[in-house]
Amino acid sequence: MVKLLIFVALSRIIFTFVHIIWYAMDHSRLIKDFLQEELIVFDKYLQESIKNKDQKLSEMISYVFSTNGKRLRPILVLMTAKACGGIIPETYHGAVTIELLHTATLVHDDVIDRSDLRRGRSSMNAVYDNTRAVLVGDYLLSTALAESVKTKNLEIVRIISELGQNLASGELSQYSLASEIIIDEDAYFDVIDKKTASLIRASLAIGAITGGADKELISHFIRLGTLLGICFQIKDDIFDYFNADVGKPTGKDIREGKITLPLIYALRNAPEEESSSMMDILNQREYSDENIEQLLEFAKKYNGIKEAYHKMDVLLEEAEAIISGLKYDSDIKMYMKMFLIYLKERKI
């Protein structure tokens, strides 16, 4: 009996230790290490796609890509293809398509938002002006379409065309919500589905298609992509409420009139008098530093952050159930679940 109790106690200690180590890991680094060789090949395909003879254009494109972003979307394309059967040249063209389209939207977003910073340094429009930034973004969009054709798959071309429509529609909807100060949870989720989730959804769909998945498996990955994309954006919106090095000033979303999930929940939870006071600030667009700080603290006080995290947890549970239920390599499952932890725990 004593030996059994000692064994149980030791087991709990070991489990706790492993649990702590697991969450302390740099999950994004582990995933990149797992796909190290594939990402090297991806970079070669990417560099080939943006190669051109115009020296000035090449200089501007090099500036856009010199930050060497997280590569999350190409990683998801590659990982999904690997799970479904294997990576082929068309997979790389699909991954490049997604990365080019994503980068083009970032360039255009900075112009629309009048942002001078991107990933902690001067944005494209701040360095080269708005006109050049828009044209470089257009060039990258056209290059993305050319890359999608190289997948030799009409369904992927359709996905990319629909993705472009969703991104533009989402941006227009977000602009309308910000202009009219509309507080609506469903409208918020519609925007982030089109602006963020659509890119990640397309990434998993392209990976599954080029990996040889059947229609049923592709549909599971499409749902998984939607969940991952929504969670990614919720976490991104939460960043705006804390002082952290995330490449944008705290309160930036509010200054632009973007009412994100933490503030939506806080306005719903707070007493009517306090909610009305916060709405007055929003409606009058009195975005002084003092008022921004007041809005940020209001969101924390009335559990806006807490409820946003809870929403993430619910969606991540569904995502984990999808991953667990699919029949493919256990190592890939482990890395996909690791990606879920990364989404929740990421600092930037």
Q: What is the DSSP string of 65-81?
A: HTT----HHHHHHHHHH
pLDDT(282) > 60: yes
Q: Are 342 and 231 in contact (CB under 8 A)?
A: no
pLDDT(13) > 50: no
Determine the average pLDDT of the residues in 230-236: 96
The residue ranking higher by pLDDT, 121 or 36, is 36
- What's the pLDDT at 18? 40
pLDDT(29) > 90: no
Half-sphere exposure of 301 (CA within 13 A, CB side): 12
For residue 121, list its beta bridge partners: 118
Determine the average pLDDT of the residues in 196-211: 97
Span 245-260, pLDDT tens digits: 555 558 888 888 889 9
- What's the pLDDT at 172? 92
Architecture of the domain whose range is 28-345: Orthogonal Bundle (1.10)
pLDDT(9) > 60: no
Determine the average pLDDT of the residues in 227-255: 83
- What's the pLDDT at 6? 53
- What's the pLDDT at 16? 36
Where are any strands of DSSP class E within 88-162? 117-118, 121-122
Distance CA 295, CA 252 (A): 12
Distance CA 199, CA 101 (A): 9
How many other CB atoms sit within 10 Å of the CB of residue 73?
A: 25
| CA dihedral (150, 154, 158, 163) positive or negative | negative
Give the chain's mean pLDDT: 88
Span 145-199, pLDDT tens digits: 999 999 999 999 999 999 999 999 999 999 888 888 888 999 999 999 999 999 9
pLDDT(262) > 50: yes
- What's the pLDDT at 245? 53
- What's the pLDDT at 196? 94
- What's the pLDDT at 195? 92
Span 287-316, pLDDT tens digits: 998 999 999 999 999 999 999 999 999 999
Determine the average pLDDT of the residues in 79-103: 96
pTM score, two decimals?
0.88
How many other CB atoms sit within 10 Å of the CB of residue 24?
A: 9
At 30, the pLDDT band (50, 70, 90 cuts) reads confident
- What's the pLDDT at 198? 97
- What's the pLDDT at 2? 53
Distance CA 46, CA 216 (A): 30
Q: Are 125 and 111 in contact (CB under 8 A)?
A: yes
- What's the pLDDT at 1? 59
Domain ranges within the chain, ordered by starting residue: 28-345
Determine the average pLDDT of the residues in 15-36: 63
Range from 42-51, 120-129, 145-154, 161-170 carrying the lowest mean pLDDT: 120-129
| Winning range, highest mean pLDDT, from 57-66, 94-103, 181-190 | 94-103
pLDDT(67) > 80: no
